[in-house]
Amino acid sequence: MTVMTQTDRELVITRVFDAPRELVFDAFLDPKNIARWWGPRGFRNTIHEMDPRPGGVWRYTMHGPDGTDYPNKIIYDEIVRPERISYGHGDDKVFPMFHATISLEETAGGTKVTLYILCNSAEEREEFVKFGAVEGGEQNLQRLGEHLAVSRGAFTISRTFDAPRGLVFKAWTEREHLMHWWGPAAMTMELLTADIRPGGTMHYSMRSPDGQEMWGKWAIRDVVVPERLVWINSFSDAEGNVTRAPFAPEFPLEVLSVVTLDEHDGKTTLTMQGVPLNPTEAERKLFDAFHASMQMGWGATLDKLDAHLSTRS
Amino acid sequence: MALDHLSTTFAALADPTRRAILARLASGECSVTELAEPFEMSMPAVSKHLKVLERAGLITRGRDAQWRPCRLDGARLKEVADWVDSYRQFWEESFDRLGDYLAEVQGKKKKGGKAPKK
Q: Which of B1, B11, B16 sits opposite A286 (nearest CB)?
A: B11
Paired with A233 in beta bridges are A218, A255
Give CA–CA dist B76/A305, Å, rounded.
13
Greater model confidence, A308 or A203: A203
Scan residues 160-179 of A and list those with Cβ closer than 8 Å to B. Answer: 161-163, 167-168, 171, 177
pLDDT in tens, A217-262: 999 999 999 999 999 999 999 999 999 988 778 889 999 999 999 9
φ and ψ at residue B54, rounded to 5 degrees: -70, -40
User: Higher-confidence residue: A15 or B79?
Assistant: A15
Q: Does A264 touch chain B (CB under 8 A)?
A: no
Residue B73: its pLDDT value, please? 92
Question: Which segment of A2-6, A14-18, A195-199, B73-77 scores lowest on mean pLDDT?
Answer: A2-6
Residues comprising chain A, all counted: 313
Burial of B75 (0-12, 13-18, 19+ CB in 10 A): exposed
At residue B113, the pLDDT reads 43
pLDDT band for position B112 (cuts 50, 70, 90): very low
**Average pLDDT in chain B:** 84
Omega of the bond leading into A96 within 30 degrees of 0 (cis): yes
The residues near A149 (Cβ < 8 Å, ≥ 6 apart) are A18, A19, A256, A275, A277
Best CA proximity match to A146, nearest among A198, A221, A219 = A221
CA distance A66 to A122: 30
- Indicate the helix (H) or strand (E) that contains A121: none
Tell me what pLDDT residue A253 has.
94
Q: Check: CB of residue B106 under 8 Å from CB of residue A163.
A: yes
Average pLDDT over every residue of A111-136: 94
Taking an 8 Å cut-off on Cβ atoms, the answer to whether B84 and A163 are in contact is no
What gap in Å lies between CA A204 and CA B115, rounded to an integer? Answer: 38
Looking at the predicted structure, is the pLDDT value of residue A130 above 90? yes
Res B116 pLDDT > 60: no
Give the gap in angstroms from C-alpha B84 to the nearest C-alpha of chain A: 6
Please check whether residue B60 is in contact with residue B51, taking contact to mean a CB–CB distance below 8 angstroms: no
Nearest C-alpha neighbor of A58 from the set A92, A11, A24: A92
One DSSP character per residue, B6-32 reads HHHHHHHHTSHHHHHHHHHHTT--B-H
DSSP character for A308? H
The answer on pLDDT for A6 being more than 70 is no
Do A163 and B100 make contact, defined as CB atoms within 8 angstroms? no
pLDDT value at A304 more than 60: yes
Closest CA to A192 of A159, A169, A215: A215
What's the mean pLDDT in A115-132? 93
Cβ–Cβ < 8 Å for B53, B12:
yes
CA atoms of A60 and A227, how far apart (whole Å): 17
- pLDDT above 50 for A61: yes
For position A303, what pLDDT does the model report? 87
Q: In chain A, pLDDT over 90 holds for what percent of residues?
A: 78
Angle at A170 between CA A142 and CA A256, to 5 degrees: 30
CA distance A267 to A160: 7
Q: Residue B18 pLDDT > 90, yes or no?
A: yes
Determine contact, residues B62/A226, Cβ cutoff 8 Å: no
Strand-pairing partners, residue A46, are A61
Nearest to A194 by CA among A164, A211, A174, A216: A174
In 3D, which of A66, A41, A49, A31 has the Cα closest to residue A228? A41
Angle at A241 between CA A237 and CA A243, to 5 degrees: 65
Percent helix, strand and coil across chain A, each to the nearest 5: 30, 40, 30
Which one-letter amino acid corresponds to residue A183? G
Please give the pLDDT value at position B109: 55
Cβ–Cβ gap B101/A288 under 8 Å: no
Assessment of whether the complete model's pTM goes beyond 0.95: no
CA distance A161 to chain B (A): 6
**No. of H helices and E strands in chain A?**
8, 15
User: At A204, is the secondary structure helix, strand, or coil?
Assistant: strand
* Residue B108 touches chain A, beta carbons under 8 Å: no
Identify residue A178 by its one-letter amino acid code: L
Please, what is the average pLDDT of chain A? 92
- Report ipTM (2 d.p.): 0.86
- Angle at which helices B16-25 and B4-13 cross, to 10°: 100
Q: Please state which of the ranges A73-77, A79-83, A135-139, A307-311 shows the lowest mean pLDDT.
A: A307-311
Mean pLDDT over residues B23-44, rounded? 88
Residue pair B53/B74 in contact by the 8 Å Cβ criterion: no
Amino acid at A88: G
What chain B residue is nearest to A245 in terms of C-alpha separation? Answer: B3
Residue B5 DSSP code:
H
Per residue in B45-92, pLDDT (tens digit) is 999 999 999 999 999 998 877 778 999 999 989 988 888 888 888 999
Element (H, E) at A312: helix A298-312
- Residue A89 CB-density burial (10 A; 0-12 exposed, 13-18 middle, 19+ buried): middle
Q: Could you tell me the pLDDT band of residue A313, with boundaries at 50, 70 and 90?
A: low
pLDDT at A16 over 60: yes
